[in-house]
Structure 1
Amino acid sequence: MEKIEFKECKTNEEMIAAFPVMKQLRTHLNEETYISLVTEARQKDQYRLFALYEGNQIVAVAGFKPMITLYYGRFVWVCDLVTDQAKRSHGYGEKLLNLVHDWSRKEGYERVSLSSGLQRKDAHRFYEDKMDYDKVSYVFKKEL
């Protein structure tokens, strides 16, 4: 197994390098829109994008942001978490989510939350069985 390391994607080049993996989760995005949204979210929402490298290859990415609401208090919202399809079931998602947990604790946040599409049964098993997340609500949306 090659060396594993985490790197925060801050530059356009680093964000572009992470795009092929992110595209597997966010299939509706093209590279230009992705860069624009990540850049704006970093500026306005404290969004952080981390890549997990195995050697020189990005095998998983996670995007998250700190938030404060009356319901959850101080927490971190995981906006995006995806492992490259060819690299799944090797523990990369767990490693990356643990990085989010560690970052959150260090920064003084009380919990981590996320949503997952109804069709993503394997992801639900991962969050509940492997990562000990509780299913606490449904997420609703309305297109305007």
Structure 2
Amino acid sequence: MITIKQIEAQDLSGLNQLYHELMGTPSNEQQMNEQLMQKTLQQMKKQSHYYVLGAYDQDELVGSVMGIECLDLLGSCEPFMVVENVIVSERVRRQGIGQKLMLKIEHIAKDLGCAYIILVSGDQRKEAHRFYEKLGFRDEKVQGYRKHL
């Protein structure tokens, strides 16, 4: 049975492995990266706008999603949710785990009064795009930009 709950510090090794699967790169500095993740997770928990959820099969972390509530000064000043780092381990995909994660983050966004959820997905991730569209996300043909600092 899959359970969805907040990621805790003891889960970061498994989360690190999922992120490496998402990015397609092996970790040569896994221990150093996990120390940095520990520090970052502590900072996120001090703020009330971060939601880092994990999908667990028994005690094993098999998926994750991060939602960030963003406050807005435009229009009626309703917040919105940015979703990032959506990953389900390839070995357990197509079992409804990603859907459970996304529905949970959507529920949180609704409870917060968010007007909408926004996410970006790499152009090459066609399977992920079909997944998001099945969940009601629409391709609004916006152009995304990123500047690495």
The two structures have a TM-score, normalised by structure 1, of 0.82
Which residue does 2:30 correspond to in 1? none
Structure 2 unmatched ranges of 5 or more: 28-32
2:138 aligned partner, one-letter code:
D
Residues 17-75 of structure 1, C-alpha deviation per residue, up to 9 Å, x if partnerless?
A: 32222321245674344444444444458322111112222221111110124399411
1:115-130 pair list within 5 angstroms = 115-128=120-133, 130=134
Q: Distance in 1 between matches of 2:51 and 2:128?
A: 21
Structure 1 unmatched ranges of 5 or more: none
Residues 93-124 of structure 1, C-alpha deviation per residue, up to 9 Å, x if partnerless?
A: 11100000111111221211100011111101
1:135 aligned partner, one-letter code:
D
Q: Distance in 1 between matches of 2:68 and 2:94?
A: 25
Root mean square deviation, CA, Å: 2.4
Matched residues, number: 140
Q: Distance in 2 between matches of 1:14 and 1:135?
A: 33
Q: Distance in 1 between matches of 2:71 and 2:61?
A: 31
Q: Distance in 1 between matches of 2:131 and 2:83?
A: 15
Which residue does 2:16 correspond to in 1? 19
Q: Distance in 2 between matches of 1:120 and 1:96?
A: 18
1:49 aligned partner, one-letter code:
V
Asked which structure has the greater CA Rg, the reply is 2
1:1-144 pair list within 5 angstroms = 3-10=1-8, 12-27=9-24, 30-43=33-46, 46-69=49-72, 70=74, 73-128=78-133, 130-136=134-140, 137-144=142-149
Q: Distance in 2 between matches of 1:33 and 1:23?
A: 15
The 3-state SS of whatever aligns with 2:79 is strand
Q: Distance in 2 between matches of 1:103 and 1:58?
A: 20
